[in-house]
Structure 1
Amino acid sequence: MLDGAATSVNEDGKSGRPEPVVTTISWIAIAILLLMTILSYIDRNIMSLMVDPIKADLGLDDIQMSLLLGFAFALFYAMFSVPMGWAADRFPRRWVIFLGVGGWSLATAACGFAGSFGQLAVARFAVGIGEAALTPAAYAIVGELFPRRRLGLALGILAMGTAAGSAIAFLIGGPIIAWVDHVGGISGFATWQVVFMLVGLPGLLIAPLIFIVPEKRRAHVTTHAQADQGFFPWIGQNWAFIVPFFTAISFAGIISYALGAWLPAYLTRTMGVDVSKVGLTIGSIQLLGIIGFVAGGWFVDWMVSRGVRDAHLRYLIGALALAGISGLGAFLFADSLNALLIWLALFYLTIPFTGPAIALVQIVAPRRFHSRTIAIYTLAINMVGMMAGPTSVAWFTEEVFGGPQHVGSGITAVFAISVPLALICFILSIPAARRMAERQALAGD
């Protein structure tokens, strides 16, 4: 049973698994987990608005700063995603989330006490480790609160926290920095240090809210051995889905992170946008991602209700194709800032794929493996996307096209390569996904 959540029989009547009934507490749970997701993206992105003062105070160069912004966080976030997924499948997920939120919040605040590159790097490592706990556990909890026919919308709403958090970091980060600078901050601390403290500490107040969220008592996980039994054999048996699907997710992550990392440079270098307006411009356009997450999840659920076969993968293929076309159009055909923003608006409306993708993962994977399989998704999109995306653009820009003024061509090259490969991999995963979903339905899991 669900603590505080009702269940009913599957609408097809074939499966022995009771499907959850959506209640008020289900949506309260979504709201709490969404708040935590937004907070996580604010905490990880706020540093990008304070690059110059951090460099000046700590005496860092661009390479050290880039490591703090990307590698220091991404490596540990990706490395600990699967262990955190394992923990969420073995132990109560609410406690995993509570410790993760509290841990990354303390680590974000600790960034404000850093006095050297090494100290700041260690704090960023800890932020990545703490944030790695949220996604596998949170999405698995939602999978227990909503029936499969409504998972797309529920997960889409939760996933929109990634867009909202990134946008909010850009939109409120500047005013927070200006306010701290205006009031004088705290004696003995620089403005950027106080900002880290202010942004990190609210998480300690938000973390206990997770215990309002109901969590299914997983009777099937009674011992450590049972929790681990069969996960790697299951991956081996289903490689025909696992390999192409998560490869496609990796390529989709590459284009997302490539654009996110280099769009500011393109706006200033090519489109002549003033540096002071870049954050507002990007934050405003990224807010469209909120619509994309919710609308995409709703549309997938509508396809499922209409009996569309392979609804989730069909949506992922169509949405990624539109995102690829709009991304290429932005850098090949836009001859003005307004035209560029129109193309990018279409991109941010269609690129959100987390909800449908994780809904599919929870449909094809046994329930006892949900958190770990979601963690593989996190590993794919972050280890490959966050690390390879920005670096690939830089390589094409410098080595192939001849210099920083050609950053738009570098972004175009990454899109032109990654999008077709992702689409091919999604298509290759369809037959195996179909077999796995049918197997899970027959098993009543």
Structure 2
Amino acid sequence: MTDAVAPATGGASAETQTTAAAPTIQPVTKGYARYALWLLMIIYTLNFLDRQVINILAEPIKNELGLMDWQLGMLTGLAFALLYTVLGIPIARIAERKNRPVIIATSVAAWSFFTVLCGFAQNFVQLVLARVGVGIGEAGCTPPAHSLISDYVPKEKRASAIAFYSIGTPLGALIGMSLGGIVADAWGWRTAFMVAGAPGLLLAVVVLFTLVEPRKKLAVDLAAKAAVAGPTFVATLAVLKGKATFWLLAFAVAIKAFIGYGQQPFIASFFFRVHETQLAQLAAQASDMLGFKVGVMSFVAVMLSGLSGLGGVFGVWLGGYLADKMGAKDVRAYALVPALAAILPIPFYVLGILHADALFALLFLFVPAVLTSLWYGPVYATAQSIVPPSMRATTAAILLLIVNLIGLGLGPLIVGGLSDFFALGLGLGKAEGVRWALVSSAVLGLIAFFLFWAARKTIKNDIVS
């Protein structure tokens, strides 16, 4: 990372015209860039903590409110994703010309408030509405954050920097599941929501007063006003229309997200339903070893979050590092690394889910946690590199719209529906129902692999900045 970086604006003539009036970037020091990346990563960690804490709480929520698995899928997926994806576009358009730190701070405060509100829900409808509120708040996080990061760091470090930010995904899931399980064991699932949401209200203040907007203020004249307006949404779509790489990566990641988001709400339920007796024994052994009582939910939460979360943190970092390292010699590495992330985890995941031993299954899931996380840095960095700087936030929002409508919106709902179908429609029972729903969804990674692989053929021609 260099002390002062201004992003390049090269590319095709049409793209150059759209950036000619773009506001210039005030370079930041190396030390401040590091601080900003850490702060943004912590924000994204809270983003995923508040989004994913419901996964470890799914079983007690299901039991108390009398829900079906498809309703759990609705709570963890579609209820959150609907406005989260739709509002990402207009918020990103604002982020192209307004103060991005202010947008992020407002978003953090909003999603944190609605996470706390989840703990007060008395029925399914109230919990759905609270989850919709969380989605509304979180819509303002990643598009402006990706845009800021691309202004803070040089192009050759972009995948690593965005991968560092993306560590918030597994780290947030790790903390959310472990914290949620431990708090729920001691004080119930409602308190877990309140504990998860409270820190964000304080962090919003930190963001507001310490995160800087690197765009220079422009003179108040007609040229400046035109620059502040920036390219239109239609202009951004017109540029993306000619970028085959963007669409291949977007739909490949959408399938990856469908698998990941679809499985997450049910993985803890899988262990509770399939390995209940073994889990009780393992929790008792852990209690004897540690000298204090460890509840079954706490044991599962810590094991799942520790193995998958730490594996994910390492995988996200490794994917960004490999992409930047290999991409310096061959830019196709930015598509190759995600392709490996799509195909390699499948056999490990299926073996873990089908194995009869609970501890083996828990440990075996560490491998796919590492491998499946390799795509974050390369994909998001490529999305920022195939458009001019003034289109980056909008491009990130369009990518997230596709990914989250398909992945987050439909993944949990369909995997939950499959679980109900296998359990009730085929008469396998709720334990085997959720097992085969997880296995069935994992195989879809093959489709993502072929899409990522196809992007290797187009990526050289599509990168402009």
Partner of 1:422: 448
What is the identity, as a one-letter code, of the residue corresponding to 1:293?
V
1:285 CA displacement: 1.2
Please, what TM-score do these two structures have when normalized by structure 2? 0.80
What whole-Å deviation, never above 9, does each CA across 1:254-286 have from its counterpart, x for those lacking one?
221233233223323334434533222211212
Partner of 2:326: 303
Mark the runs of 5 or more structure 2 residues left unpaired by the alignment. Answer: 11-15, 219-223, 281-295
1:64 CA displacement: 5.0
Partner of 2:457: 431
Structure 1 residues 113 and 20: alpha-carbon distance in aligned structure 2, compared to 1, 3 A threshold: same
What is the identity, as a one-letter code, of the residue corresponding to 1:159?
S
1:61 to 44, 53, 67: 67
Please, what TM-score do these two structures have when normalized by structure 1? 0.83
What is the rounded CA distance, in whole Å, between the counterparts of 2:72 and 2:274 in structure 1? Answer: 24
Partner of 1:265: 269
Structure 1 residues 411 and 434: alpha-carbon distance in aligned structure 2, compared to 1, 3 A threshold: same
What is the rounded CA distance, in whole Å, between the counterparts of 1:396 and 1:177 in structure 2? Answer: 27
1:378 CA displacement: 1.9
2:249 and 2:455 in contact (8 A); partners too: yes
Partner of 1:149: 156
Matches within 5 A, 1:376-391: 376-391=398-413
2:214 to 213, 216, 233: 216
2:160 and 2:317 in contact (8 A); partners too: yes
1:193 CA displacement: 4.6
What is the SS of the residue equivalent to 2:331? Answer: coil
Q: Do residues 407 (structure 1) and 424 (structure 2) align?
A: no
2:76 and 2:265 in contact (8 A); partners too: no
What is the SS of the residue equivalent to 2:458? Answer: helix
What is the rounded CA distance, in whole Å, between the counterparts of 1:398 and 1:201 in structure 2? Answer: 34
Matches within 5 A, 1:171-186: 171-177=178-184, 181=187
Partner of 1:313: 335
Q: Do residues 255 (structure 1) and 259 (structure 2) align?
A: yes
1:22 and 1:146 in contact (8 A); partners too: no
2:196 to 195, 199, 212: 199
Structure 1 residues 261 and 65: alpha-carbon distance in aligned structure 2, compared to 1, 3 A threshold: closer
What is the rounded CA distance, in whole Å, between the counterparts of 2:75 and 2:28 in structure 1? Answer: 44
State the number of aligned residues: 418
Structure 1 residues 143 and 65: alpha-carbon distance in aligned structure 2, compared to 1, 3 A threshold: same
What whole-Å deviation, never above 9, does each CA across 1:206-255 have from its counterpart, x for those lacking one?
112224233321668734364546112112232x2333221111111122
Q: Do residues 127 (structure 1) and 110 (structure 2) align?
A: no
1:20 and 1:145 in contact (8 A); partners too: yes
1:50 CA displacement: 4.4
- CA RMSD, Structure 1 to Structure 2 (Å): 3.1
What is the rounded CA distance, in whole Å, between the counterparts of 2:80 and 2:246 in structure 1? Answer: 26
Structure 1 residues 65 and 267: alpha-carbon distance in aligned structure 2, compared to 1, 3 A threshold: closer
1:89 and 1:227 in contact (8 A); partners too: no
Structure 1 residues 144 and 197: alpha-carbon distance in aligned structure 2, compared to 1, 3 A threshold: same
1:342 CA displacement: 4.2
Structure 1 residues 86 and 150: alpha-carbon distance in aligned structure 2, compared to 1, 3 A threshold: same
Partner of 1:362: 384
What is the rounded CA distance, in whole Å, between the counterparts of 1:66 and 1:343 in structure 2? Answer: 25
2:28 and 2:214 in contact (8 A); partners too: no
1:204 CA displacement: 1.9
2:275 and 2:358 in contact (8 A); partners too: yes
What is the rounded CA distance, in whole Å, between the counterparts of 1:316 and 1:407 in structure 2? Answer: 27
1:123 CA displacement: 2.4
What is the SS of the residue equivalent to 2:5? Answer: strand
User: Does 245-254 or 424-433 show the bigger shift?
Assistant: 424-433
What is the SS of the residue equivalent to 1:91? Answer: coil
Partner of 2:289: none
What whole-Å deviation, never above 9, does each CA across 1:131-166 have from its counterpart, x for those lacking one?
111011112111111112112221111111111111
What whole-Å deviation, never above 9, does each CA across 1:144-198 have from its counterpart, x for those lacking one?
111121122211111111111111112122333455x3xxxxxxxxx65554344
Structure 1 residues 319 and 194: alpha-carbon distance in aligned structure 2, compared to 1, 3 A threshold: closer
1:294 CA displacement: 1.2
What is the rounded CA distance, in whole Å, between the counterparts of 2:32 and 2:346 in structure 1? Answer: 38
